[in-house]
Amino acid sequence: MSRIGRKPITVPSGVEIKIEPELVTVKGPKGELSERISRDMTVQQDGETLTVERPTDRGEHRALHGLTRSLVANMVEGAVGRLGKIKVAYVHAAAQEETEKIRELIEGRLTCVESLVSELSPALGVHTGPGTVGLCYYPVKK
């Protein structure tokens, strides 16, 4: 049983939710976010509450249930700007331009207090291949 999936999501005032087959869009003061969801999961809105339902208790559906609920809840939080501040580290293997594009996208949507961009060492770069970009982030405690 997915305890996370069963938790309802409270939608704050000023946030619009658009539910389509396999797509959920959340629009709020901080922007608009969309996420494709599995066709097996159903997202329903009842007033100011969202719920995610699964068709069966199969392991795959239980896992998707919790994942889908978490993704939608995080979109709601992000649309109102409650995710707080984060620190981000980016690593790349011969992909400086792509890394900068990702950095600009993330820093345009979230409040980053610190960013570090670094190229992988040649030994690691050989194993990962050119064009590899890695990302790590963590929230800053208040």
Model pTM above 0.95: no
What are the distances in angstroms from CA 130 to CA 19, 97, 100, 110, 120? 38, 12, 15, 28, 10
- pLDDT, one tens digit per residue, over 40-63 is 999 999 999 999 999 999 989 999
Task: Between 2 and 66, name the one with better pLDDT.
Answer: 66
93, containing H or E segment = strand 85-93
Return the pLDDT at 1.
Answer: 44
- Neighbouring C-beta atoms of residue 142, cutoff 10 Å: 5
Return the pLDDT at 103.
Answer: 82
